[in-house]
Amino acid sequence: MTDTPSTSIRPPASGAPRAAYAAAPDLPDILPPARVRRGFAGFAFRHPSMAIGLVILAAMMFIAVFAPLLGTVDPTALAPIKRMRSPGAEFWFGSDAYGRDIYSRVLYGARISLIVGFAVALIASFTGLVIGLVSGYVRVLDGFIMRIMDGMMSIPPILLAVALMALTRASVENVIMAIALAEVPRVSRLVRGVVLTLREQPYVEAAIAAGTSTPMVIMRHILPNTIAPLTVQATYICGSAMIIESILSFIGAGTPPIIPSWGNIMADGRTLWQVKPFIILFPAIFLSLTVLAINLLGDGLRDALDPRMAKRI
């Protein structure tokens, strides 16, 4: 966009009368006012990747909620005679080694993956927030808490989740707890870092000098400023939790095999992948699309909420 006075005379974009500019040829071209698009169309125009993410995620949530109405059958119904059918009119995505309809299993699987993703994001962010606030504000405990977090962080997350799952019974709740626990140290570190910088801010100092009580300082001045980075982090955790769930189920340490989660469907197709690759293909596409949508959303949120962080990563 050039604002320099141009000597060439171009007709304005909107049909203004010729005489209007012929009279003053030395004036710069006046651009018509930018058309501000409102609503979702405008949002999609400004943040295309975020809009794509939102649309895909909304579609997945729709599928999860209305799975019974989308031409599905009982996802656990066995039909040994019709096993390992290729995708066709009867089985849109084919059938697995037990004759279960993969289309129905994939659609119902959206429920498990979304629940696991959102629950882990919520639990890990909340727990991490509390630990991070305490660690950043109560200096006596900081060293101790951070050594524990360092220790937990030095166990690779998937391995930690796998070890936790080895202790407990396979259930969706336990999978959620195991993945959340593995994610907590990273969130605590993030929140602690933000709290430590905020503590030194003049307005916090002013609040303390004015006699604001500690809980009030935390609630009114510290907490609101941790929300933006925490939201971004929670989005990424949501995506990675879905991937970890599928990995846990895939290696047989996740949700119970009877539950149609995307990881379980792929685990069922593991031994047959060379002859019936579609058993893995369809849940893989759904899982990857969902995680992709969440990551696009996370990138968009990060750029919108924290321009400084956007430059760094």
Partner 1 sequence: MFGYILRRILSTIPVMVFVALFVFSLLYIAPGDPAAVIAGDQASPEDVEKIRKSLGLDRPFLVRFTEWSGQILSGDLGTSMFTGLPVTELIGQRIEPTVSLMIVTLILAVLIAVPIGVIAAWKAGTWIDRLIMGFAVFGFSVPVFVVGYLLAYIFALELDWLPVQGYTPIAKGLWPWFENLILPSIALGLVYIALIARITRATMLEVLSQDYIRTARAKGLGQRPILFLHALKNAAVPIVTVIGIGVALLIGGAVVTESVFAIPGLGRLTIDAIVRRDYPLIQGIVLVFSFVYVLVNLVVDVIYTMLDPRIRY
The residue behind tokens 């010729």 is: 18
Between CA 128 and CA 195 the distance in angstroms is 12
Q: Which lies closer to partner 1 via its Cβ, residue 99 or residue 252?
A: 252
Residue of the chain from 81, 166, 210, 258 that contacts partner 1 (CB under 8 A): 166
Please give the C-alpha separations between residue 27 and each of 18, 33, 75, 140, 297, in angstroms, as whole numbers. Answer: 14, 17, 71, 67, 44
50: contact with partner 1 by CB under 8 A = no
Q: Which stretch binds partner 1 (CB under 8 A): 77-85, 106-114, 197-205, 242-250?
A: 242-250
Residue of the chain from 156, 205, 214, 219 that contacts partner 1 (CB under 8 A): 156
Contact of 98 with 160, CB cutoff 8 Å: no
Q: Which lies closer to partner 1 via its Cβ, residue 165 or residue 180?
A: 165
DSSP 231: H
147: contact with partner 1 by CB under 8 A = yes
Between CA 293 and CA 34 the distance in angstroms is 30
18: contact with partner 1 by CB under 8 A = no
213: contact with partner 1 by CB under 8 A = no
Q: Which stretch binds partner 1 (CB under 8 A): 94-102, 114-122, 220-228, 244-252?
A: 244-252
Contact of 121 with 232, CB cutoff 8 Å: no
109: contact with partner 1 by CB under 8 A = no
The DSSP-derived string for 207-219 is HHHTT--HHHHII
Q: Which lies closer to partner 1 via its Cβ, residue 180 or residue 247?
A: 247
Residue of the chain from 266, 276, 282, 301 that contacts partner 1 (CB under 8 A): 266
Residue of the chain from 158, 227, 304, 305 that contacts partner 1 (CB under 8 A): 158
CA-based nearest residue to 109, from 275, 272, 237, 267: 267
CA-based nearest residue to 114, from 36, 176, 163: 176
By CB under 8 A, name the binding residues for partner 1: 147-148, 150-152, 154-160, 162-169, 239, 243, 246-247, 250-253, 266, 273-274, 277, 280, 284, 287-289, 291-292, 295-296, 299, 311-313
